[in-house]
A and B are shown apart, each in its own frame.
Chain A
């Protein structure tokens, strides 16, 4: 079952972590588990709710076939504990006594339901790091409101930033539960911060992470334009929301797929490279403005502001020729060809891959982003996305397939005796 039997020491394999929560904290705990922490997911008897989430293996709904659950729960162990049965309090406290970190999302409320005392737990376990992730921060006047990833993305600012030039189309959330991810990212950074403090002093503490706050401080100019100059950015197709409109940066290529051109050619050397690229493709005679690129290549350097001032017609024409050259090249090349050729000329452009195309892209394959995990119960080997960072020592790895419901209850409880 172990995927990387070869991996040796992992950075967090000295830690025992209890996960008491829902999908809002599962990403944080996957990040810890894949760095070697012994993450014990405490599930209610009916199982974590996300076991019922689509997509399922072969589209057959079953609590052991949720790919959503699988992704967020690699390398973890699972135990079942009924928090409505107060006779479990003693076992819970014993388990807490073995833990370095607790992550909870205030979903199952072990303190209230089992009747254990949070203050007592913290004083009995002075090194314990207890991190709570909630929608608005534990104790907030808004924290009891019903929310989802979508509504938090709307409240916290993601949605305002994303969408189209055509403002009759709605703002766009951004795929993949990124509000929850962002809360979990802050939780993991916070736990590591508290861990380094504990390494130095032995002292643990409670951390209160706010998902809405995490979204709010992850909007770049959306926030600082308001904070610094009381200006408001507006959404634009495929590029930075701006206080003032900017030029389009997505081009549709010959295969119907898109590239992001960032900023088109704007430096003298880039006009020269653009000319050479057209020449390589045999397209010079299809671009009447091509000669302007050579004029541009001989210019002293200029800034975009010089172009946009609009009073230098030659500059505008040269700049326009650069854009026309990109448009022409895109119309003749696939998005992937445009991307790799442009980058080889030094242009900072990107092919707009779908997630699965990225996973299969030769660069990411070469970098080891496809990781195979055995699922013996289904007789399958499943490819998972790989490491978000490459440590050369104590490195990342999926050490177990996601756990079956309660798979490790007996194993973990027997370790307590």
Chain B
């Protein structure tokens, strides 16, 4: 240490980190990118595999194993890694010393796991008076579902996000991934930093209970107020309709099939949104220039007319969209002032969109076993303490010497002894 030049934004903070997967690991990944010293604790008895992502695909090559999981690397960039068997007496003693020199303890176990090891907030507070303890679990640490288990899709289902992602007359499409593992991690990062600011002001630590389902529930606000104020539920005939826009009302507003791009997938799609009458008039002129005389219909000139005729409008625009590849039509529309984009594939948005390179969104890091790999960066630039990512996720016990030696002051022979006893 230090392994590289770090951001100074959070370099004064140390996090004793039990988080895993994405819902927890994503939170401390963000803070590590800004220089926080995040010490990831892993169990040596099962090679850290309580985090199931450790060995999960994708892989960089034919090798497999707990050091080679692509998702684990992506979510744990820049963290330190130690092994520690917390079921042993010496392991507990070392953990307790580590808490004593940390600002925060973070975890996203199922409810009650850390408590079952003897470490609730009150115990952690005995180890360090101003400790901040942040837990993140699906339903939180109280209430009828406290013991229920979740992962991203279950969080999304129970909070309304899955249902609100659908088109009419179809079952829920939901989110095709764990949106709420990412976003739950964002709320966890906010909660950690809010608690640190509170401590900076008052000297007090605290316990924070993050429930990913509740964070998710706050992400459908206008729909919820339409229900609590106007008694209009989203579960009603013809809804939800996620590709249309009611809040605010816009039309046309949809995702349309486009002409596939040779050499790419056999499907291609374009998203188009007319925000107002001005956008429609601009789009109308593009359509008229292509011989779509129907676009001149005066009924479409005003929003109310377009909302009322949205289904037929979609069908006609859909025909027009099939005539070009989606990048060509999107550019044509944007030049006329109308919001439009291709539904980009991962390759298109990562390797072909100029914005990815401009914003240095996909840094290449070096992970000890995997070698050089690109990862998700941070979509923000700071003028004074910008983020950095150069080191990948830790391999098991990669930082034992630094943490136990330099931070806790153990000698080389003491550390060697701990390995022999199965503590590390």
| Chain A residues close to B by CB (< 8 Å) | 9, 11-12, 14, 31, 35, 50, 52-55, 57-59, 67-68, 70-72, 136-137, 140-142, 145-148, 150-157, 159-164, 167, 169-178, 181-183, 185-190, 192-197, 199-200, 203, 205-214, 216-233, 235-241, 243, 249-250, 252, 258-260, 262, 339, 343, 346, 348-359, 361-364, 366-367, 369, 380, 382-394
Q: With A213-B379, A228-B58, A391-B198 given, is the CB distance from A350 to B157 under 8 Å?
A: yes
Residue on A with the closest CB to B166?
A172
Q: With A31-B190, A241-B177 given, is the CB distance from A249 to B361 under 8 Å?
A: no
Q: Given A11-B198, A186-B378, A218-B183, 12 more contacts at CB 8 Å?
A: A137-B359, A137-B379, A178-B219, A219-B177, A227-B350, A227-B373, A228-B374, A355-B217, A356-B224, A364-B143, A369-B214, A382-B229
Chain B residues closer than 8 Å to A182, beta-carbon distance = 183, 186
CA distance A141 to B346 in the complex (A): 20
The interface on chain B, measured as residues whose beta carbon lies within 8 A of the other chain's beta carbons, has a size of 158
Chain A residues closer than 8 Å to B49, beta-carbon distance = none
Chain B residues closer than 8 Å to A231, beta-carbon distance = 58
23 pairs from A and B in contact (CB 8 Å cutoff) = A142-B355, A148-B250, A148-B273, A152-B341, A164-B170, A172-B242, A185-B187, A205-B385, A207-B380, A208-B382, A227-B70, A228-B70, A232-B265, A232-B347, A237-B171, A259-B157, A354-B235, A355-B220, A356-B223, A369-B214, A386-B218, A388-B215, A394-B195
Chain A residues closer than 8 Å to B186, beta-carbon distance = 182, 185-186, 189
The contact of A390 among B155, B173, B211, by CB within 8 Å, is B211
CA distance A200 to B197 in the complex (A): 10
**Is residue B92 contacting chain A, with contact meaning CB distance below 8 A?**
no
Q: Considering the complex, which residues of chain B in the window 149-185 have a beta carbon less than 8 Å from any beta carbon of chain A? A: 149-151, 153-167, 170-179, 181-183
Q: With A150-B243, A160-B345, A239-B174 given, is the CB distance from A216 to B224 under 8 Å?
A: no
Binds A, one of B38-46, B200-208, B407-415: B200-208
**Contact indicator B12/A200 (Cβ below 8 Å):** yes
Q: Is the interface of B mostly helix, strand, loop or mixed?
A: mixed
CA distance A70 to B189 in the complex (A): 26
**Is residue B63 contacting chain A, with contact meaning CB distance below 8 A?**
no
CA distance A383 to B229 in the complex (A): 8
CA distance A193 to B35 in the complex (A): 10
Residue on A with the closest CB to B253?
A150
**Contact indicator B9/A193 (Cβ below 8 Å):** yes
Q: With A219-B177, A249-B153 given, is the CB distance from A390 to B140 under 8 Å?
A: yes
**Contact indicator B380/A196 (Cβ below 8 Å):** no
**Contact indicator B350/A223 (Cβ below 8 Å):** yes
Chain B residues closer than 8 Å to A380, beta-carbon distance = 229
**Contact indicator A349/B154 (Cβ below 8 Å):** yes
**Contact indicator B340/A151 (Cβ below 8 Å):** yes
Min CB gap A331→B, angstroms: 16
**Is residue B255 contacting chain A, with contact meaning CB distance below 8 A?**
yes
**Contact indicator A157/B229 (Cβ below 8 Å):** no
CA distance A11 to B205 in the complex (A): 12
Interface centre among B22, B220, B240 (most CB of A within 10 A): B220
CA distance A120 to B74 in the complex (A): 40
**Contact indicator A197/B8 (Cβ below 8 Å):** yes
The contact of A220 among B178, B270, B342, by CB within 8 Å, is B178
Min CB gap B195→A, angstroms: 6
Q: With A181-B219, A356-B223 given, is the CB distance from A212 to B355 under 8 Å?
A: yes
Residue on B with the closest CB to A129?
B382
Min CB gap A370→B, angstroms: 8
Q: With A157-B349, A169-B167, A220-B181 given, is the CB distance from A354 to B359 under 8 Å?
A: no
Smallest CB-CB A-B distances: 3 pairs: A213-B379, A175-B164, A355-B160
The contact of B229 among A57, A171, A243, A358, by CB within 8 Å, is A57
**Is residue B362 contacting chain A, with contact meaning CB distance below 8 A?**
yes
Q: With A224-B70, A258-B171, A389-B209 given, is the CB distance from A366 to B247 under 8 Å?
A: no
Min CB gap B262→A, angstroms: 17
Residue on B with the closest CB to A250?
B171
Residue on B with the closest CB to A236?
B176
Min CB gap A267→B, angstroms: 13
**Contact indicator B187/A388 (Cβ below 8 Å):** yes
Min CB gap B355→A, angstroms: 5
CA distance A196 to B157 in the complex (A): 35
Chain A residues closer than 8 Å to B165, beta-carbon distance = 162, 172-175
The contact of B214 among A57, A214, A353, A386, by CB within 8 Å, is A386
The contact of A240 among B12, B161, B176, B201, by CB within 8 Å, is B176
Binds A, one of B79-87, B111-119, B331-339: B331-339
Chain A residues closer than 8 Å to B176, beta-carbon distance = 161-163, 222, 233, 235-236, 239-241
Chain A residues closer than 8 Å to B395, beta-carbon distance = none
**Contact indicator A221/B177 (Cβ below 8 Å):** yes
The contact of B222 among A67, A147, A188, A387, by CB within 8 Å, is A67
CA distance A259 to B154 in the complex (A): 9
**Is residue B148 contacting chain A, with contact meaning CB distance below 8 A?**
yes
**Contact indicator A205/B384 (Cβ below 8 Å):** yes
The contact of B382 among A159, A194, A355, A385, by CB within 8 Å, is A194
CA distance A356 to B143 in the complex (A): 19
CA distance A5 to B144 in the complex (A): 27
**Is residue B249 contacting chain A, with contact meaning CB distance below 8 A?**
yes
Min CB gap A399→B, angstroms: 16
**Contact indicator B344/A160 (Cβ below 8 Å):** yes
Chain B residues closer than 8 Å to A216, beta-carbon distance = 349-350, 356, 361, 376, 379
CA distance A297 to B253 in the complex (A): 51
**Is residue B353 contacting chain A, with contact meaning CB distance below 8 A?**
yes
**Is residue B256 contacting chain A, with contact meaning CB distance below 8 A?**
yes
Chain A residues closer than 8 Å to B171, beta-carbon distance = 237-238, 250, 252, 258
**Contact indicator A155/B349 (Cβ below 8 Å):** yes
Min CB gap A66→B, angstroms: 9
Chain A residues closer than 8 Å to B166, beta-carbon distance = 172, 175
CA distance A260 to B152 in the complex (A): 11
CA distance A174 to B378 in the complex (A): 22
CA distance A183 to B155 in the complex (A): 21
The contact of A171 among B179, B225, B255, by CB within 8 Å, is B255
Min CB gap B280→A, angstroms: 13
CA distance A361 to B154 in the complex (A): 15
**Contact indicator A367/B342 (Cβ below 8 Å):** no
